[in-house]
Amino acid sequence: ERARLARLRHTPAVTLDGVQVDLHANIEMPVDAESAVAAGATGVGLFRSEFLFMNRDGELPSEEEQFIAYKAAVESMKGMPVTIRTVDVGADKPLDRLTVNELRHEHVLNPAMGLRAIRWSLAEPSMFRQQLRAIYRASAYGKVRLLIPMVAHLSEVRQILETIRKVQQQLTDAGHAFTRVELGVMIEIPAAAVMLPLLLRHVDFVSIGTNDLIQYTLAIDRADEAVAHLYDPWHPAVLQLISQSIAQANAAGKGVSVCGEMAGDPDFTELLLAMGLRSFSMHPSQIPAVKQRVLRADAQRLASALPRLLESEDPRATAEKELSAARSGA
Ligand code: PEP
Ligand code: MG
């Protein structure tokens, strides 16, 4: 079993009909990049940078501290892409004893709909510039991609682009090296999925955060036990949004990946391949199981089953029937 897993690690993720698939890793700390490489990841699809900001007893990481962390992850990946997401704090990921604007985070009725992620970054411009400078500086050491969480408005994208221009100028003035960094936004809010063609004009890639996309599409708090039975990745509305986002990004020639839990769950590998997904990002421990699914899949046959699945009132049952027929040995 050990030897088989080791062999699997070096086997490229290619479907039976020759479609190449990227299996990237989600990481929380720079040291996790080592497990990513060990698991056979071909890149980091999601570096949740907020973990550098949490459990710190009050002070936030400086630009220098962040730069060192991002550089470490980038160097561990040896030229493979590292997608760094700007801080996604708030809601289920609170900053304990926040030093900045503490009051804004107290007594909020709906934190998941409040000042979190990019909203928080744009409300703290100097903190945001600091993080962007650290990320851009790390780009001198490998292939860095920048990912923005929880985008819902074009005005946010414009502010991000404006801030990036400012930061690049600051780095040039200070004599810091950096290279081109691709910009991506996360599709986590239904509004972003619905207006994807407009967003795609301004970004290089998108990454679908299914954990939040499901939460906001179905209005189900992802951390609330009382409604956990209604948190359903197979819900037809969820599948429509994911499928349509992948198709639109592919049609626009822009990169698209899924970095929510669905990407690391082998029960969804065939479904996502059927939708045209070619880039998955997951916890490193899930890579072997997902890779095995990819190796046994026929992407063309899967794609032809997709319309029936999207029209079905019970997509899970339909997938069970239709997608397994496209599996080798079936
Ligand atoms: C997601 O929402 O699917 C996602 C990947 O982001 P997080 O789980 O960190 O909110
Ligand atoms: Mg999210």
Query: Ligand 1, residues 212, 216, 258, 280: which to mutate, most atoms within 8 A of Cβ?
Result: 212
pLDDT at 93: 75
Gap from CA of 209 to ligand 1 centroid (Å): 5
pLDDT at 106: 59
Give the H or E element holding residue 135: helix 125-138
Q: Which atom of ligand 1 is nearest to the CA of 92?
A: 10
Q: Which residues contact 58 (CB under 8 A, 6 or more apart)?
A: 96, 97, 98, 99
Would you say the CB of residue 156 lies under 6 angstroms from ligand 1?
no
- b/e per residue 36-75 (b: at least 16 CB within 10 A): bbebbbbbbbbbbbbbbbeeeeeebbebeebbebbbbbbe
**Listed residue (284, 295, 291, 281) closest to 328, CA to CA:** 295
pLDDT at 110: 86
Would you say the CB of residue 43 lies under 6 angstroms from ligand 1?
no
Would you say the CB of residue 88 lies under 6 angstroms from ligand 1?
yes
pLDDT at 1: 77
The band of 236, judged by pLDDT with boundaries at 50, 70 and 90, is very high
As a whole number, mean pLDDT of residues 254-274 equals: 98
DSSP 239: H
Which of 4-8, 27-31, 82-86 shows the lowest mean pLDDT across its residues?
Answer: 4-8
* Better-predicted residue by pLDDT, 154 or 111: 154
Tell me the C-alpha to C-alpha distance, in Å, between residue 18 and each of 3, 48, 296.
25, 32, 11
**Listed residue (313, 138, 144, 165) closest to 240, CA to CA:** 313
How much is the ipTM here?
0.99
**Structure tokens, 13:** 């993720």
What phi and psi, each to the nearest 5 degrees, are found at residue 279? -140, 120
The band of 100, judged by pLDDT with boundaries at 50, 70 and 90, is low
Q: Which long-range contacts (CB under 8 A, 24 or more apart) does 211-217 make?
A: 211/260, 211/261, 212/150, 212/186, 212/188, 212/260, 213/187, 213/188, 213/189, 213/238, 213/241, 213/242, 213/260, 214/238, 214/260, 215/112, 216/112, 216/188, 216/189, 216/190, 217/190, 217/241
Q: Which atom of ligand 1 is nearest to the CA of 260?
A: 3
Query: Ligand 1, residues 88, 119, 280: which to mutate, most atoms within 8 A of Cβ?
Result: 88
Largest CA distance in the chain: 61
**Listed residue (89, 79, 86) closest to 111, CA to CA:** 89
As a whole number, mean pLDDT of residues 279-286 equals: 98
Gap from CA of 328 to ligand 2 centroid (Å): 34
Residue identifier of the C-alpha nearest atom 6 of ligand 1 = 209
pLDDT at 7: 86
pTM, whole model, 2 decimals? 0.95
Residue identifier of the C-alpha nearest atom 4 of ligand 1 = 209
Percentage of the chain beyond pLDDT 90 is: 85
Residue identifier of the C-alpha nearest atom 9 of ligand 1 = 48
pLDDT at 90: 80
- At 23 the three-state DSSP class reads strand
DSSP 154-202: HHHHHHHHHHHHHHHHHHHHHT------EEEEEE-SHHHHHTHHHHHTT
Tell me the C-alpha to C-alpha distance, in Å, between residue 236 and each of 97, 242, 260, 304, 316.
40, 10, 17, 18, 10
Would you say the CB of residue 210 lies under 6 angstroms from ligand 1?
yes
pLDDT at 103: 44
**How big is the CA angle at 45 (ends 201 and 252), to the nearest 5 degrees?**
25
Identity of the amino acid at 116: R
Gap from CA of 277 to ligand 2 centroid (Å): 19
pLDDT at 95: 74
Which ligand is in closest contact with the Cα of 93? 1
Cα 219 from Cα 232, distance rounded (Å): 11
Gap from CA of 88 to ligand 2 centroid (Å): 8
Which of 87-96, 192-201, 288-297 shows the lowest mean pLDDT across its residues?
Answer: 87-96
DSSP 78-130: TTS-EEEEPP--BTTBPPTT-SSSGGGGSS-S-GGGSS-THHHHHHSHHHHHH
- pLDDT of 205 > 90? The answer is yes
Tell me the C-alpha to C-alpha distance, in Å, between residue 228 and each of 214, 216, 283, 312.
11, 14, 22, 23
The band of 330, judged by pLDDT with boundaries at 50, 70 and 90, is very low
Residue identifier of the C-alpha nearest atom 8 of ligand 1 = 211
As a whole number, mean pLDDT of residues 92-109 equals: 61
Would you say the CB of residue 212 lies under 6 angstroms from ligand 1?
yes
